[in-house]
Amino acid sequence: MSKTPRSRVKGMLRQIFQRSSERAEALKRDKYTCQSCGVKQSTKKGFEQKVQVHHKKGIAVWDKVIDLIYEEILCDAEDLETLCPNCHQNKEQGF
């Protein structure tokens, strides 16, 4: 049985952050401007400049988060079953 690679899980988590309202809020708050040197994001041809959003505290728990995803979401196939939408909803509601 093959497992989803850790690198793919981490990549998907990064995509969630890239599309998050929290990231968008930080960019808007800072007016798409680097808070260290003042450079502004630009899409002007020949002057393209991107800015990124940085976690000030870092992300020291990547491994713990990925382990939790493996335990709870990407569990062994023996712990999964195929259901129609109605039966799935009923199981989630405890019926």
Give me the number of domains the chain comprises.
1
Mean pLDDT of 59-69: 93
Q: Tell which residue, 7, 3, 17, 10, has the closest CA to residue 61.
A: 10
Predicted TM-score (pTM) of this structure:
0.75
For residue 76, what are the domain limits? 6-92
Domain annotation covers residue 64: yes
Residue type, 19: R
Q: Which tens digit of pLDDT belongs to each residue from 8-22?
A: 999 999 999 999 999
Domain annotation covers residue 28: yes
CA-to-CA separations, 76 to 19, 34, 84, 94, in angstroms, rounded: 29, 44, 20, 22
Domain annotation covers residue 1: no
What is the per-residue pLDDT for 2?
78
Q: Which tens digit of pLDDT belongs to each residue from 35-62?
A: 999 999 999 999 999 999 999 999 999 9
